[in-house]
Amino acid sequence: MKQAEYIKEKKRYSKQSLKKCLNFAQDVYPTIKEQLAKRGQTDIPMSIKQTMVGKIAEEFDEYWGTKIMGFDCLKRTDFEIYSGGKKDFSSDLVFGGDKAREYFDLDKKEINVSCKACFYRIGNKYTEYINGESIPVMLPSQYSWVYQLSNNGGVGGHDNGNHDVYIFNIVDLNNMKVGAYAWVVKDTVSKMFIRPFMESKKESKLVVQQETCGGLRHFPCGIDELLDTNYEPKESI
């Protein structure tokens, strides 16, 4: 199994790409608003922005996988609007080929990717271990990826779908840049969950924080220069 893959490639995205992703987010919102409401996401502008940055990240991950890593792209970023029985939440991005299998350490013909995009920072007072113990070492401010505690009867915290690998992205809206921050195989993601301190979110959300992601040294994930090298996560999370 690979150790500590560092993914530091960042890329500017164009105004045309931003407009395309924003238009998609606005058009798809009516088809997903009921599901978002069930998750407590009723802020329409924020929901649209989250969908938009997700598509920006997917486009980057496709670029990163094909142009930088040399993977075969078996299924590309999808901008079609689906409704009814045609809508599903499986991977929009699928890699393949010898290079992808070797890099992700997965002996699969098709490697289904979930792109986890993040575009805001969250302070160090917002999370704890699942067992209620405070996190001992935190960066003053870091990015955080939010998951559902349970999603339609699926595994707690995981998005529904057939994902093999989760690629964590940071989208910098101010400077119009996006980058792949880390990739993690599916079975590892649940070990990275921590619970929000905020009482209103504890029963419905889990988060993966930037430092937690980078601190998993014995798992195949990446970290950028912001990692506090003294951080050692507990095996129990």
Per-residue pLDDT of the chain (237 residues; tens, 9 = 90+): 233 343 445 788 889 999 999 999 999 999 988 888 877 788 899 999 999 999 999 999 998 889 888 899 999 999 999 877 777 667 789 999 999 998 888 899 999 999 989 887 765 556 676 666 766 554 555 678 888 777 555 445 556 567 888 888 889 888 888 888 777 778 777 777 777 777 777 777 888 877 666 554 333 333 333 233 444 443 322
Q: Assign 109 to helix, strand or coil.
A: coil
For residue 33 the two structure tokens come to: 């608003």
Asked whether residue 117 is assigned to any structural domain, the reply reads: yes
User: Would you say residue 235 lies in a domain?
Assistant: no
Q: What residue type is 16 in one-letter code? A: Q
Residue 223 covered by a domain:
no
pLDDT given for residue 159 in this prediction: 62
In a domain, 74, yes or no: yes
Q: Residue 174 domain-assigned?
A: yes
Residue 153 lies in a domain: yes
Q: Is residue 227 part of a domain?
A: no
Integer Cα distance of 123 and 144 in angstroms: 9
CA 50, 52, 223, 65 torsion-angle sign: positive
Q: β-strands 121-123, 141-148: how paired?
A: antiparallel
**pLDDT tens for residues 185-209?**
787 777 777 777 777 777 778 888 7
Q: What is the pLDDT of residues 78-122, one digit of tens each?
A: 999 987 777 766 778 999 999 999 888 889 999 999 998 988 776
- How far is residue 121's CA from residue 104's CA, in Å, rounded to a whole number? 28
Number of domains the chain is built from: 1
Helices within the chain (DSSP H only):
15-38, 44-63, 98-104, 186-189, 199-202, 210-215
Residue 178 lies in a domain: yes
pTM summary value:
0.79
CA dist., res. 179 & res. 12, Å (int): 9
Provide the pLDDT for residue 55: 94
Question: CA-to-CA distance for 124 and 209, rounded, in angstroms?
Answer: 10
For residue 108, what are the domain limits? 10-215
The DSSP output letter for 192 is G
Taking alpha carbons only, the member of 13, 60, 37, 47 closest to residue 167 is 60
Contact 169, 57 (CB under 8 A): yes
